[in-house]
Amino acid sequence: QTVSIAKAGITTTLNSRTSVLAAANPVHGRYHEDKNAAEQVDFQTTILSRFDMIFVLKDKHDAEFDGKLAKHIINLHVQGG
């Protein structure tokens, strides 16, 4: 694969030898089911178009489960493992 770069009047194509993993939170803090993934994050379409795959991981809002999980994590740290 190659990456095209245009900067300061110079245009070139470089070989790419790496993978990129990026993460982003929704713009207003919550995922809206009525909008697509591109509308949810503050990335330019030129950046988003460079990714071969986009996965959306959603956290279901459940105060009871979140509280239990938080207590469990705190207990792990208090007990030292």
What confidence tens digit (pLDDT) does each residue in 27-44 have?
Answer: 888 888 898 888 888 888
Average pLDDT for residues 60-80, to the nearest whole number? Answer: 92
Show the CA angle centred on residue 45, arms to residues 56 and 9, nearest 5°: 140
Model pLDDT, residue 6: 86
Mean predicted confidence (pLDDT) in 53-67: 89
Give residues with Cβ within 8 angstroms of 5, minimum separation 6: 11, 12, 13, 14
Q: Phi/psi at 21 (nearest 5 deg)?
A: -120, 125
At 59, is the pLDDT very low, low, confident or very high (cuts 50, 70, 90)?
confident
Per-residue pLDDT, 81:
57
Q: What mean pLDDT value characterizes the chain? A: 85
